[in-house]
């Protein structure tokens, strides 16, 4: 496979992004090192393929085998590889399109029709204004005469229609044709093709969920449907491999696909530029649908077909010391194809004082590839206490505690949430306090709202009811005062360099004691601008050794680069499958293996910190950045994110989970207030981060732009200090998303902007400049040094605490394979 762009190829098999201009292409071609690790490319293809979800396959239409196929839809050439913005803007040396991929897989593609599309696409290149956030959601379709379609039907056996969608950073999906909905031209194309062909396959090339209700209108005329989450540079080739049967489909949905947008419980409270009330509370995604509206589900959470069938046999279930262990034998009962299966365990709960979803995911495991007749033994386990619920109102008599209410907790096993059947249950004889905590980041009393709860009608059916979301009852100021750290007495320069600390010749505190207030303040911000000259060209920003005096003491600059689908720098880099594609594989070992190779690529390209993985939930299908994130479920999110972190950090560099926290819409994202109950916050929106922190120990974490219950995340003491650091035990470095909003600490007026941030233990403002009315500026403010001089202002101990977190990151980054420091 060529590892450089082949712009003259008749297939355009390695063409660049369809929205790039000729000028951009000429600049890219000047790069002299387009070589990518072939092992990384191969594993990226496998991961993309395992994330593809087969939603329908009537009459064994797929795999295509030796059948000839006529491909319709311009996306066959203008393939969407990834979503928009910093999460996907990677300088990639090649991109497969679908026609090239099908031919590579040995599929007999109708050349006459492909030629018509190729010529039209070449003359009608997609374009946009170039303005940030105005990228196209779709590309207008090529008009087709009925005669062209009928002629193709005489030459070929099967039709394949490709429909593409994209969204991204600052680019929400819209409830409009061409985004969430089909266009009239796409509907007309479906009508034309399904009228002329006996069997039609539809491939959805997208990063977000789109409306699929139209599938019902066509019945068996659409005999197979693949949801191909954006798979990066190898994505179209992965789709071709699955269609051909070279690769077996094994992906499962990480989101519920409902019949209409209005069916989603978030739909009434999404997209307001100022405030979103998370009124659905803990009833997000399948938690809502399986409890209240199962009839509104088109394709359920965890669903996905293969080219073969499987049987599950329970070998045993054991409860041992608060852990449930299930051993399952999985057999491939088909006769023709191999495949992998995902075994899923869900847990229900009794009705109690706290409303509970009908089912919650407890554990999952993916089998190895099994040949027909082959069997695998799968063992899964989970802690019973994982299903304790957080009482944020005191309704159980134990406010701010995780409790298990008395009753029967049924356990379900299956291959998706809907098909799972009860296999056992565990009993809780009396109310059990699992963990007593303290109120954190609660809803403000001045901004109340009602939240969804479970009620029962006269027949015992679940119905939606409402109650006021609990509001804050604890004053923040005293908590902050009680948590102020002690100061390390300044010593002045003692000649200690950071390598002395690394070698054990000096303590970190003795190094920090040397630092002046000016140096401590410098550590608290990045190198003022993106594309810092202290890092590799095209970097997102540099932190750590950002001044000459710090570098003289051995504090090396730490280079950050955008992710998560690749390394966004000036040089060529791999474009990997989107977050949703990776999660849809339900294969954490594969994700970790891919991330480990990606970490090695970071070392070679000069990146120390990859701003990845994206960890926010798919609360609503219209969120533009859903492609970067993993799932509507926090367990899938946490386990997949932890796999990425472990893999990346195995190379001696750092991953940086983001956006902490509750970044679930792009509309007015820097000013938007996400108002969410403490229970939903802990059980859903923070749970994935918590799993990732506890299982993978990321060296860096990034805050989000938005407010959480009235406080910007980069100032949020409750989230960053009380919860992340004190409750979860996180000891790493916390950075802002790029730039931040001005504000004054409501309890300590001497703290503004960066001083306010440092008190929250958000260690570094990235990239370090100041955001003003006219836009970001390349200078640092003086609020930290000014606050140090004021009553109840910032303390030197707080600055030293932040420096300790940053320097810990610098020390944790290991040398590269050629002996140079990975912190440049």
CATH number of the domain bearing residue 715: 3.20.20.300
Tell me 624's DSSP state.
G
Residue 822: per-residue pLDDT: 40
Q: How many residues does the chain have?
A: 824
Q: What percent of the chain lies above the pLDDT cut of 90?
A: 91
Element (H, E) at 59: none
Say whether 160 sits in a helix, a strand or coil. Answer: strand
DSSP letters for 681-743: IIIIITHHHHHHHHHH--SEEEB-SSEETTEEGGG-HIIIIIIIIIIT---SEEE-SSS----
Residue 815: per-residue pLDDT: 55
What is d(CA 668, CA 771) in angstroms, rounded to the nearest whole number?
Answer: 16
* β-pairing verdict for 275-277 and 673-675: parallel
Element (H, E) at 225: strand 222-229
Could you tell me if residue 9 is inside a domain?
no
Q: What is the largest CA-CA distance in the chain?
A: 86
Whether the per-residue pLDDT at 1 is higher than 90: the answer is: no
Residue 569 and residue 575 in contact, taking contact as beta carbons nearer than 8 Å: no
Q: Are residues 425 and 353 in the same domain?
A: yes
Side-by-side strand order, sheet with 707-708: 275-277, 673-675, 707-708, 711-712
Could you tell me if residue 510 is inside a domain?
yes
Q: Domain end: 192, 226, 251, which one? A: 251
Give the count of domains, the chain: 3
pLDDT digits (tens, 9 = 90+) for 429-452: 999 999 999 999 999 999 999 999
Could you tell me if residue 256 is inside a domain?
no
Q: Is 178 exposed, middle or buried (0-12, 13-18, 19+ CB in 10 A)?
A: middle
pLDDT mean across residues, the chain: 93
pLDDT digits (tens, 9 = 90+) for 44-62: 999 999 999 999 999 999 9
Could you tell me if residue 210 is inside a domain?
yes
Q: Return the number of other C-beta atoms located less than 10 Å from residue 260's C-beta.
A: 13
Burial 491-528 (b: 16+ CB within 10 A, else e): eeeeebbbebbeeeebebeebbbbbeeebbbbbbbbbb
What is d(CA 230, CA 212) in angstroms, rounded to the nearest whole number?
Answer: 17
What is d(CA 436, CA 734) in angstroms, rounded to the nearest whole number?
Answer: 26
Q: Are residues 491 and 582 in the same domain?
A: yes
Sign (positive or negative) of CA dihedral 822, 765, 692, 359: negative
Residue 814: per-residue pLDDT: 61
Q: Are residues 490 and 410 in the same domain?
A: no
Could you tell me if residue 677 is inside a domain?
no
What is d(CA 567, CA 562) in angstroms, rounded to the nearest whole number?
Answer: 6
**Closest CA relative to residue 598, chosen from 29, 35, 36, 6:** 36
pLDDT bucket at 98, cuts 50 / 70 / 90? very high
Whether the per-residue pLDDT at 20 is higher than 70: the answer is: no
**In 177-282, alpha helices (H):** 184-196, 215-218, 235-244
Residue 773: per-residue pLDDT: 80
Whether the per-residue pLDDT at 611 is higher than 70: the answer is: yes
**Closest CA relative to residue 565, chosen from 232, 801, 280, 321:** 232
Q: Return the number of other C-beta atoms located less than 10 Å from residue 377's C-beta.
A: 11
Could you tell me if residue 1 is inside a domain?
no
Q: Are residues 462 and 545 in the same domain?
A: no
127-136, long-range: CB < 8 A, 24+ apart? 127/19, 127/21, 128/19, 132/170, 133/84, 133/85, 133/169, 133/170, 133/171, 134/171, 135/19, 135/84, 135/166, 135/168, 135/171, 136/19, 136/166
CA-to-CA separations, 548 to 519, 527, 544, 545, 554, in angstroms, rounded:
10, 11, 11, 8, 10
What is d(CA 163, CA 141) in angstroms, rounded to the nearest whole number?
Answer: 9
Could you tell me if residue 257 is inside a domain?
no
Whether the per-residue pLDDT at 9 is higher than 80: the answer is: no
Q: What angle do CA 550, 553, 554 make, to 5 degrees?
A: 95
Residue 129: per-residue pLDDT: 67
**Closest CA relative to residue 639, chosen from 613, 661, 662:** 613
Tokens 């004082």 found at:
353
pLDDT bucket at 87, cuts 50 / 70 / 90? confident
Residue 416 and residue 300 in contact, taking contact as beta carbons nearer than 8 Å: yes
pLDDT digits (tens, 9 = 90+) for 315-362: 999 998 899 999 999 999 999 999 999 999 999 999 999 999 999 999
What is d(CA 168, CA 578) in angstroms, rounded to the nearest whole number?
Answer: 11
pLDDT digits (tens, 9 = 90+) for 224-259: 999 999 999 999 999 999 999 999 999 999 999 999
Q: Are residues 246 and 294 in the same domain?
A: no
Residue 158 and residue 67 in contact, taking contact as beta carbons nearer than 8 Å: yes
Q: Are residues 301 and 406 in the same domain?
A: yes
What is d(CA 469, CA 445) in angstroms, rounded to the nearest whole number?
Answer: 10
Q: Are residues 383 and 406 in the same domain?
A: yes
Q: Are residues 469 and 508 in the same domain?
A: no
Residue 670 and residue 706 in contact, taking contact as beta carbons nearer than 8 Å: yes
Q: Return the number of other C-beta atoms located less than 10 Å from residue 445's C-beta.
A: 10
What range does the domain containing 55 cover?
Answer: 22-251
Q: Put residue 528 in one of left, alpha, beta given phi > 0 → left and psi -120 to 50 → alpha.
A: left
Residue 127: per-residue pLDDT: 77
**140-154, 167-181, 777-791: which has the minimum mean pLDDT?**
777-791
Whether the per-residue pLDDT at 133 is higher than 50: the answer is: yes
Residue 755: per-residue pLDDT: 97
CATH of the domain at 310: 2.60.40.10
What is d(CA 754, CA 780) in angstroms, rounded to the nearest whole number?
Answer: 9
Q: For 140-230, where are the E strands, in sequence order?
A: 158-164, 200-206, 222-229
pLDDT digits (tens, 9 = 90+) for 533-566: 999 999 999 999 999 999 999 999 999 999 999 9
Whether the per-residue pLDDT at 15 is higher than 70: the answer is: no
Chain centroid offset of residue 620 CA: 13
Q: Are residues 63 and 194 in the same domain?
A: yes
pLDDT digits (tens, 9 = 90+) for 752-795: 999 999 999 999 999 999 888 888 888 889 999 999 999 989 99
Residue 655 has, within 13 A of its CA and on its CB side, a CA count of: 33
Q: Are residues 75 and 213 in the same domain?
A: yes
**Closest CA relative to residue 159, chosen from 103, 204, 223:** 223
What is d(CA 789, CA 769) in angstroms, rounded to the nearest whole number?
Answer: 22
Q: Are residues 489 and 449 in the same domain?
A: no
Chain centroid offset of residue 220 CA: 34
Q: Are residues 447 and 513 in the same domain?
A: no
Residue 17: per-residue pLDDT: 36
Which residues are known catalytic residues?
737
Residue 221 has, within 13 A of its CA and on its CB side, a CA count of: 15
Residues in contact with 480: Cβ distance below 8 Å, sequence separation at least 6, in sequence order: 717, 747, 748, 759
Could you tell me if residue 275 is inside a domain?
no
What are the counts of helices (DSSP H) followed by strands (DSSP E) for the chain?
Answer: 23, 32
- As a whole number, mean pLDDT of residues 630-659 equals 98
**Closest CA relative to residue 337, chosen from 385, 289, 372:** 372
């Amino acid at each position: 496979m060529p590892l450089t762009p082949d712009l003259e190829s008749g297939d355009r098999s390695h063409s660049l992004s369809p929205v790039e201009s000729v000028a951009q292409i000429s600049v890219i071609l000047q790069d002299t090192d387009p070589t990518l690790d072939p092992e990384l490319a191969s594993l990226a293809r496998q991961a993309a393929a395992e994330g593809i979800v087969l939603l329908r396959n009537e009459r064994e239409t797929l795999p295509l085998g030796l059948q000839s196929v006529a491909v319709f839809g311009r996306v066959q050439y203008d393939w969407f590889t990834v979503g928009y913005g910093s999460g996907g803007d990677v300088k990639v040396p090649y991109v497969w399109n679908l026609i090239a991929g099908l031919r590579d897989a040995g599929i007999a593609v109708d050349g006459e029709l492909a030629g018509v599309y190729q010529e039209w696409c070449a003359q009608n290149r997609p374009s946009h204004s170039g303005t940030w956030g105005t990228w196209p959601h779709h590309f207008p379709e090529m008009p087709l005469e009925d005669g062209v379609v009928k002629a193709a039907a005489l030459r070929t056996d099967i039709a394949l229609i490709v429909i593409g969608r994209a969204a991204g950073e600052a680019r929400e999906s819209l409830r409009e044709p061409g985004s969430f909905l089909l266009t009239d031209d796409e509907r007309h194309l479906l009508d034309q093709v399904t009228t002329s062909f006996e069997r039609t396959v539809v491939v959805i090339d997208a990063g977000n969920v789109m409306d699929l209700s139209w599938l019902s209108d066509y019945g068996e005329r659409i005999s197979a449907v693949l949801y191909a989450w954006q798979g990066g540079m190898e994505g179209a080739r992965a789709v071709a491999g699955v269609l051909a049967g070279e690769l077996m489909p094994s992906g499962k949905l990480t989101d519920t696909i409902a019949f209409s947008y209005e069916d989603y419980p978030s739909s009434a409270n999404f997209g307001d530029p100022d405030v979103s009330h998370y009124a659905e509370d803990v009833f997000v995604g399948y938690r809502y649908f399986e409890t209240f509206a199962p009839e509104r589900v088109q394709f359920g959470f965890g669903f996905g077909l293969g080219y073969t069938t499987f049987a599950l046999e329970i070998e045993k279930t054991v409860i041992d010391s608060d852990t449930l262990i299930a051993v399952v034998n999985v057999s491939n009962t088909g006769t023709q194809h191999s495949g992998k299966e995902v075994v899923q365990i869900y847990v229900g709960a009794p009705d109690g004082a706290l409303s509970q979803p009908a089912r919650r995911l407890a554990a999952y495991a993916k089998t190895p590839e099994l040949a027909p007749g082959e069997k695998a033994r799968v063992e899964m386990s989970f802690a019973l206490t994982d299903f304790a619920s957080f009482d944020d109102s005191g309704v159980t008599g134990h406010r701010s505690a995780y409790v298990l209410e008395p009753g029967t907790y049924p356990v379900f096993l299956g291959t998706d949430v809907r098909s799972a059947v009860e296999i056992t249950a565990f009993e809780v004889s009396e109310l059990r306090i699992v963990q007593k905590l303290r109120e954190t980041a609660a809803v403000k009393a001045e901004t109340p709202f009602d939240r969804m709860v479970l009620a029962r009608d006269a027949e015992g059916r679940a119905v939606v009811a409402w109650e006021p979301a609990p509001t804050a009852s604890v004053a923040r100021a005293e908590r902050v005062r009680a948590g102020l750290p002690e100061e390390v007495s300044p010593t002045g320069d003692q000649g200690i360099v950071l390598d002395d600390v690394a070698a054990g010749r000096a303590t970190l505190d003795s190094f920090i004691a040397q630092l002046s207030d000016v140096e401590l303040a410098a550590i608290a911000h990045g190198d003022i601008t993106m594309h810092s000259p202290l890092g590799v060209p095209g970097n997102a920003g540099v932190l750590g050794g950002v001044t000459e005096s710090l570098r003289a003491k051995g504090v090396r600059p730490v280079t950050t680069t955008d992710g998560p689908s690749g390394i966004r720098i000036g040089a060529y880099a791999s474009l990997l499958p989107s977050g949703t594609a990776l999660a849809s594989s339900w294969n954490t070992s594969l994700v970790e293996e891919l991330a480990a190779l990606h970490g090695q690529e970071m070392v070679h390209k000069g990146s120390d910190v990859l701003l990845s993985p994206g960890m926010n939930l798919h609360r609503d299908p219209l969120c533009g950045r859903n492609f970067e994130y993993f799932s509507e479920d926090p367990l899938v999110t946490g386990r997949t994110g932890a796999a990425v972190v472990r893999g990346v950090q195995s190379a001696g560099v750092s991953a940086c989970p983001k956006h902490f926290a509750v970044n679930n819409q792009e509309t007015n994202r820097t000013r938007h207030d996400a108002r969410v109950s403490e229970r939903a916050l802990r059980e859903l929106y923070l749970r994935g981060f918590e799993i990732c922190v506890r299982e993978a120990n990321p060296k860096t974490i990034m805050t989000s732009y938005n407010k959480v219950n009235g406080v910007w995340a980069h100032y949020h003491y409750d989230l960053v200090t009380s919860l992340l650091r004190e409750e979860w035990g996180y000891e790493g470095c916390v950075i802002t998303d790029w730039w931040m909003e001005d504000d004054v600490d409501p309890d300590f007026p001497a703290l503004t902007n960066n001083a306010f941030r440092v008190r929250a233990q958000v260690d570094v403002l990235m990239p370090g400049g100041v955001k003003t009315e006219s836009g970001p500026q390349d200078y640092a403010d003086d609020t930290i040094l000014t606050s140090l001089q004021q009553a109840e202002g910032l303390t030197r101990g707080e600055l030293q605490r932040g420096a300790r977190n940053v320097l810990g990151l610098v020390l944790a980054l290991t040398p590269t394979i050629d002996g140079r420091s990975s912190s440049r």
